[in-house]
């Protein structure tokens, strides 16, 4: 396999392992164990670790190694403050550019969700809506930074799957956002977006407390 492909293999393995808590917060990632597991050399593993470090998933400590980063309540507060600022800015700047086709596609996916749906289906519809909003931002650097901080919350999304009630409420919140956008009511859409993000933050902090008890 090409070097670039091996880098991707190492990155995707480590990313998934961190997000799904196969590596717990604070746990060391041993390079040799990863190379043995994947059957590759240390070089692509080190490249993957450097990338994960730049994205905020791990901490690399000289002479000690790489450790899964432990997000604090302050980190969560910071991430959501930025996320709300970015998404509101994107919704305001691109409000009139959001097409009926985009909304219809997301709304259709939302309406197919039931209490028996796989949690990943809920998260995929969530990602579609928020990616649509941020995708209409005029500031491309902001989009790139948003994607980085948003990805740091993937572990919490994974663990949130244990809360079916939260998934139900999230669907309702999403539908309210879509409805306001369809009706061309910007302030209403912003209000529902803020409410949704506030509720997501509250649940994320709850999951963080649960993680500390793992």
Domains of the chain: 3-68 (1.10.10.10), 73-211 (1.20.120.530)
Residue range 149-201, pLDDT digits in tens: 888 888 777 766 656 667 788 889 999 999 999 999 999 999 999 999 999 89
For the chain, give the percent of residues with pLDDT over 70: 94
DSSP code for 130:
H
pTM exceeds 0.75: yes
- Cβ atoms 143, 135 nearer than 8 A: yes
CA distance 188 to 89: 15
45-70: average pLDDT = 93
Model pLDDT, residue 189? 98
Provide the pLDDT confidence category of residue 11 given band limits of 50, 70 and 90: very high
User: How many whole angstroms separate alpha carbon 179 and alpha carbon 212?
Assistant: 37
pLDDT value of position 88: 96
Contact assessment for residue 180 and residue 192, using Cβ atoms and an 8 Å cutoff: yes
What is the tens place of the pLDDT at every residue in 144-158? 888 888 888 887 777
Sequence-ordered alpha helix ranges (H) in the chain: 3-19, 31-38, 42-54, 73-94, 100-111, 119-135, 140-151, 154-159, 164-182, 186-211
Q: What is the mean pLDDT of residues 12-30?
A: 91
**pLDDT category, 45, cuts 50, 70, 90?**
very high
At a CB cut-off of 8 Å and minimum separation 6, what does 85 contact?
Answer: none
Q: Of 46-55, 61-70, 161-170, give the lowest mean pLDDT range.
A: 161-170
């Amino acid at each position: 396999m090409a070097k670039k492909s091996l880098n991707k293999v190492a990155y995707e393995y480590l990313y998934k392992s961190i997000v799904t808590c196969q590596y717990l917060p604070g746990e060391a990632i041993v390079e040799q164990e990863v190379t043995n597991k994947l059957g590759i050399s240390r070089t692509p593993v080190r490249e993957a670790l450097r990338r994960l470090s730049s994205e905020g998933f791990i901490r690399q400590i000289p002479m000690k190694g790489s450790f899964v980063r432990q997000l604090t309540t302050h980190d969560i507060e910071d991430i959501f403050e930025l996320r709300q600022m970015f998404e509101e800015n994107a919704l305001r700047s691109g409000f009139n550019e959001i097409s009926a086709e985009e909304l219809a596609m997301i709304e259709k996916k939302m309406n197919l969700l039931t209490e028996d749906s796989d949690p990943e289906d809920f998260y995929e519809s969530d990602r579609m809506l928020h990616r649509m909003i941020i995708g209409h931002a005029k500031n491309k650097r902001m989009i790139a930074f948003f994607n980085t901080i948003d990805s740091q919350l993937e572990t919490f999304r994974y663990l949130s799957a244990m809360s079916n009630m939260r998934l139900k409420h999230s669907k309702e919140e999403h539908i309210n956002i879509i409805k306001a956008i369809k009706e061309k009511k910007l302030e209403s859409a912003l209000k529902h977006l803020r409410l949704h993000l506030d509720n997501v933050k509250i649940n994320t902090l709850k999951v963080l407390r649960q993680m500390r008890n793992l």
